[in-house]
Structure 1
Amino acid sequence: MKGNQEMNTKNKLILCSVVSAILVVVLYILFHETGHLIVMLSAGEVIDDFSILSAHVSGHGGEYTFVSDLWLNANGAVLPLIVSLVYLLFYKKERNNTFYRMFSFFTGLMPISTILAWVIIPFLYLNGTAPLNDDCTKFLMSFSQIANPLFVSAAALVLIVFGSILFIKKGVLRNYIYELNKMKSK
């Protein structure tokens, strides 16, 4: 009986982790592309294609200003981060549900960790080795005309620290570790 219960707990944790991770990846892509879409529509662009499966949005036309061009490239990272931080603000640490805890862990972790690229890529940009089609690189091509790219690294680092503090203070990490330990102790 104890062996079955231990296996059920382990299987439940694995299933909840896999399903929540996949769901969070899909939601991240949706919010990332929607972030771009919002700016494209605000610039008057006609949308030709929006796909979560191939993770892209494309359109034509539109009139972009310096600021809207910056936002076009940044909002793919900013919108999922905002959604994640708002979700974390409303996180209920006392809720004892494995799926909720796993989903919340990945919901906080993914957008915060993707901002890490915005810390690293400005250094690569200054070195001339930044990935050409990356949103951060495209952002830096405009931003570097008015300021040092390392300001982007600093801002991204502040966002990561803020998100991590919220992630820890709200008990998301603690509950995730608790769920992992619960599996070991059975």
Structure 2
Amino acid sequence: MAQAMEIEDIQRSSFSTRFLGAHDNKIDGKGRLSIPAQFRSALQNGQKDALLYCFPAFNRQVIECGGPDLLNILMKSIANHDVLDEAREALEVAVLSRIQTLAFDETGRISLPKTLRDYAGLTAAAAVVGIGARFQIMTPDKHQHVLSLADAAAAANPDIMRGRSLPSFSGWGGHND
């Protein structure tokens, strides 16, 4: 029970970095990809230089990316397991050992390592997709597929967006109570 509560706390934490929206960008012959300006700004958080942490998602062929907030989420999630727990070690190896720390050039591009490009099937273009405290890099075709699956799941579960933490208002929804 305590572990579930801690994970819920991590998920609900108010991290400062937010990545929103989707952007299709070209990948040049040297593997450089432009990251959207608002993403770079969120990563910089008032500092001149920003680092980007990227790793291959272990459940599908996309690249997970983010700043220090993402790293904190990962570390806290892993810390919920006992130090000698096999599940913890699996997460450490699957995620932490694969993280690549990337820097931006003067034009806002990153050089995606070939291993990451190959993993995600990236060649000439990439979709950079913001999803809150992190963003994903994937092929534009995969993004369209993921988007259609997400739309179907959202349509099948309309109550998921209910304002569970918002107070009830009398008269809300056109009722005159």
- Report the structure, 1 or 2, having the larger strand content: 2
Q: Do they superpose with TM above 0.5?
A: no
TM-score tier (shorter): under 0.3
* TM-score, normalised relative to structure 1: 0.25
Q: Which of the pair has the greater relative contact order for Cα pairs under 8 Å at 6+ separation?
A: 2
* TM-score, with length taken from structure 2: 0.26
Point out the structure with the larger helix share: 1
